[in-house]
A and B are shown apart, each in its own frame.
Chain A
Amino acid sequence: MSEPLLVFDHASLAYGRTTAVEDVHGAVLSGQSVALIGPNGAGKSTLLRSVLGLVDVVAGRIEVLGTTPVRARREVAYVPQVDTLDAQFPVSVRQVVLMGRYRDVGWLRRPSPRDRAIADEALDAVGLAARREDRFGMLSGGQQQRVLLARAIAQQPRLLLLDEPFNGVDAVSQQALLAALRRLRDGGAAVVVSTHDLALAHLACDEVCLLNKHQVAFGPTDETLTPHLLRAAYGGQALELAGDNVIVAR
């Protein structure tokens, strides 16, 4: 059954006095994946953070898993970009994935064998079980991204938010990421992923939300990734090629 796990009801988001994103409207259903597309500074990260309850909603409303973003946090997983992390940090891949279990373990307690089993499974789901004991920073960028996804999977979330996970990621890792995401959706979770890669959006996502400080469009991928709408979102930075092919600059 397809229930809406994430609903934007004409929501506008602001940091303090400045409005960052205006009038986002649409829903993400269970088992669906939505691509968040727009130029740099369009508010994609802001939108993701608002789903986590970290950004003020100054107009309209956001409903996550039937309740407020803050209350829903337990079952919402966030995958940040890899380059925000310190590659020298002395943690193993396994330890990173285990971090996804911490909230469920709770304060003052240690992870149980079951927690470790879940973490190991999640690592397996992204195809990196063999690298378990390696230091996180020793992996390639794409592999690190997969580990962060595994961490999110270990949370056993119903809603997954990914912040440009495909940036600079090698083909193998990209495949692994897509495969894991597909399995999550098959399990009923919903996925929101911000990206610049239009081909990937076509390939992996049911719907697209086009953003440029306001919502340009929110609908099925084929209907949204049109040259006309893309130009509206990217301004002069969209270049039309033969037929329906459009290149967008970052």
Chain B
Amino acid sequence: MRYLIEPFGSPFMQRALAEALLLGAVAAVVSVFVVLRRLAFVSDVLTHTVFPGVVIGFVVAGTGGIVWGALVFAVLSAVLITVLAARSRVTEDASMAIVLTGFFAVGVVLVSRQTSFTSDLTAFLFGRILTVDRQQLVMTAVLGAAVLLLLGLLGKELLFRAFDPAGAEARGYRVLVLDLVLNLAVALVVVAAVRAVGTVLVIALLVVPGAAGRLLSDRLAGIALVAVGTALLAGWLGLVASWQASVNHELRLASGATVVLVLVLLYGAAAGIAALRKVRT
């Protein structure tokens, strides 16, 4: 037990933990919807389209500008994706893939024009959770609160649309607007995650918790509970593993990536439990 607590004696580890837990919990709630609406690919597209915003924000206003650049592109992307998905039913995958790669390439090109950029690039892609400061924590909390508020207020309508889009439309709900809201929620999580786990790894937080929850529960509340629990556990254990490996075994395990790895392992455990249940019934 001491093994699991001792990493968090220092402030930087405490901040990293706070960030991981905050981000994980919010992303987990969103991931429930992502899984129910089968938005994993759309979410992946959003992680790539936010990236050029990160770069532009950095170029214009330094590290402080990252979140604002990301925010602008998050909103733009959410709108673009929603419109694209509504229009092209058959070739939805293709047009999304084009948007994904196009935006991401723009970001990479912009980055490559800066000479001293690789370490910042890897920071944007994979995060630097150990150097999260108080200000970033507050930003994560604010964005997280906005997301939870959005989902909380519109939860029942989002559920209705997810379950029965035709019925929702017949009832007079604008499916396009509801979809935009959800895509925006995903995009905001990506923005919140940029500094901590980066745009490449955040997709794991947006998909795996919900997927694990779906494996273990048939009720919405149950799924959400498992999702949040999994994300919190992964954040905690991932940081423990990364710290213990570094401090006691001189083994480098990038912290953000280790959290994601633990998350995936937990999913594996959930799959195992689900399979056992099936066998026993």
Per the CB under 8 Å rule, do A and B touch in the complex?
yes
Q: Which A positions have Cβ atoms within 8 angstroms of B?
A: 49, 52, 54, 70, 73-74, 78, 80, 84-86, 89-92, 95-96, 99, 102-103, 105, 107-108, 110-111, 135, 148, 151
Q: Give the residue name and chain of the B residue nearest to A53 (CB).
A: B172
List CB contacts (< 8 Å) of B138-168 with chain A.
153-154, 156-157, 159-160, 162-164, 166-167
Contacting A54 at CB < 8 Å: which of B164, B170, B222?
B170
B154, B157, B166, B167 interface centre (most CB from chain A within 10 Å)? B167
Q: Give the residue name and chain of the B residue nearest to A98 (CB).
A: B156
Q: A135 vs B157: C-alpha distance in the bound complex, in angstroms? A: 19
Q: A89 vs B164: C-alpha distance in the bound complex, in angstroms? A: 10
Q: A52 vs B170: C-alpha distance in the bound complex, in angstroms? A: 6
Q: A99 vs B163: C-alpha distance in the bound complex, in angstroms? A: 10
Q: A208 vs B214: C-alpha distance in the bound complex, in angstroms? A: 45
Determine the interface band of chain B, counting residues with CB < 8 A from chain A.
20 to 34
- 15 A-B pairs within 8 Å (CB atoms) are namely A52-B170, A54-B169, A78-B166, A78-B170, A78-B171, A80-B164, A89-B163, A90-B219, A90-B222, A91-B163, A99-B159, A99-B160, A99-B164, A99-B167, A102-B171
Q: Give the residue name and chain of the A residue nearest to B219 (CB).
A: A90
Contacting B220 at CB < 8 Å: which of A91, A102, A105?
A91
Contacting A102 at CB < 8 Å: which of B156, B166, B217?
B156
Q: A103 vs B160: C-alpha distance in the bound complex, in angstroms? A: 11
Contacting A103 at CB < 8 Å: which of B153, B163, B171, B222?
B171
A78-B166, A84-B164, A90-B223 given; 11 more Cβ-contact pairs under 8 Å: A49-B170, A54-B169, A70-B172, A80-B166, A80-B167, A90-B219, A92-B219, A102-B157, A108-B154, A110-B156, A148-B167
Contacting B153 at CB < 8 Å: which of A78, A80, A107?
A107
**6 closest A-B pairs (Cβ-Cβ)?**
A78-B170, A73-B172, A80-B166, A99-B160, A108-B153, A52-B170
Contact residues in B for A89 (Cβ distance below 8 Å) = 36, 162-163
Q: Give the residue name and chain of the A residue nearest to B167 (CB).
A: A80
Contact residues in B for A80 (Cβ distance below 8 Å) = 164, 166-167, 170
Contact residues in B for A103 (Cβ distance below 8 Å) = 171-172
Contact residues in B for A74 (Cβ distance below 8 Å) = 172
A70, A102, A110, A135 interface centre (most CB from chain B within 10 Å)? A102
Q: Give the residue name and chain of the A residue nearest to B162 (CB).
A: A89
Contact residues in A for B159 (Cβ distance below 8 Å) = 91, 95, 99
Q: A91 vs B154: C-alpha distance in the bound complex, in angstroms? A: 17
Q: Give the residue name and chain of the A residue nearest to B220 (CB).
A: A90
List CB contacts (< 8 Å) of B216-230 with chain A.
217-220, 222-223
**Contact assessment for A90 and B170 in the assembled complex, using a CB-CB cutoff below 8 Å:** no
Shortest distance from the beta carbon of B85 to any chain A beta carbon, whole Å: 17
Shortest distance from the beta carbon of B281 to any chain A beta carbon, whole Å: 13
Q: A84 vs B153: C-alpha distance in the bound complex, in angstroms? A: 27
Q: Give the residue name and chain of the B residue nearest to A110 (CB).
A: B156
